[in-house]
Amino acid sequence: MTTPSVDRDAVRTRLREDRERLEAEIADVIDAGALGEASTPGSDRELSSADQHPADDATNVQYLEQDAGQVEALRADIVDIDAALQRLEDGTYGRCVACGREIGPERLDALPATPYCIDDAQRAEQDAALRPPAP
């Protein structure tokens, strides 16, 4: 099985730039949002919520969960990029990890870290949609 012809240097540069951008986004979410406030000792947060309306507390929790979910998704994207960089080094970049077929150049251009051809990506999405949510 031959590896598809790709400009390895260009792909490596793009993946690294995407990784740096995602790391900056994570830092921005943490610094600007509820995660930064929750983890900053001595911040202007009140010590007691006795005079706060319960809905205010619920809103704060919602913001914290949204920020945490966004950071988790961005970190998952970084894991995908790291895996793509490893496939690039292994010589398997551009091949579907599920079936071994070549991933189309248009797909790689749009999603350079993708591990799947379009068919297997659709199957993976369907499988994920059928799984019950994690507790």
Residue-level pLDDT at 57:
73
Neighbouring C-beta atoms of residue 62, cutoff 10 Å: 11
Model pLDDT, residue 64: 87
Contact by Cβ (8 Å): 62, 34? no
Domains of the chain: 8-39+58-130 (1.20.120.910)
pTM of the model: 0.75
Give the chain's mean pLDDT. Answer: 85
Whether residue 5 contacts residue 88, with contact meaning beta carbons closer than 8 Å, is answered with no
Q: How does pLDDT run along the chain (135 residues), one tens digit per residue?
A: 555 678 999 999 999 999 999 999 999 998 886 666 554 444 444 545 556 666 777 787 888 888 899 999 999 999 999 999 999 999 999 999 999 999 999 999 999 999 999 999 999 999 888 888 766
pLDDT value for 2 = 53
> What is the pLDDT, as a whole number, of residue 37?
55
The Cβ-side half-sphere exposure at 74, using a 13 Å CA radius, reads 19
- Cα–Cα distance measured from residue 2 to residue 92, given in angstroms and rounded to the nearest whole number: 9
